[in-house]
Amino acid sequence: MEKWIFDSPDQAGECLKQFIKDMYQENKLVKGTLKIGDKDVNLKNVSMPLLNIYANADHIVPPDATKPLNDLVGSTDKELYEFKGGHIGVFVGGKSQKELAPAISAWLHKRADGNGQRY
């Protein structure tokens, strides 16, 4: 587990500084002012189905930072899923395997036809 936790790629300093400024300090993604290259990024343009999973005891990505995404995207097919646990528990552990994995599978299955195509 420790190897996995600390196995993060190095981040380019200037890139990380720009990311923190744009996403955290200025909240550009939510405000609709984020640009990647010369392209505007607008969450209202997201039209694919969205399964927004959050952990109710997550201290790294708190629920109040996750839940608003559903109101920001343009998709008409969006679902908010509360996982009872913390940040790491969403990814590993028996509860994740018993509850979350089947929920994700059911959500995907509901949106696929026999060929794996959406709708």
Contact 3, 94 (CB under 8 A): no
The enclosing H or E element of 54 equals: strand 50-55
Residue 116 reports pLDDT greater than 60: no
Torsion angles phi and psi, residue 116, rounded to 5:
80, 10
pLDDT tens per residue, range 53-85? 999 999 999 999 999 999 999 999 999 999 999
pLDDT at 115: 60
* pLDDT tier, 34 (very low <50, low <70, confident <90, very high otherwise): very high
Question: What is residue 81's DSSP assignment?
Answer: E
Backbone region of residue 21 per phi and psi (left: phi > 0; alpha: psi in -120 to 50; beta: other values): alpha
Cα–Cα nearest to 18, from 36, 43, 6: 36
**112 - beta bridge partners?**
118
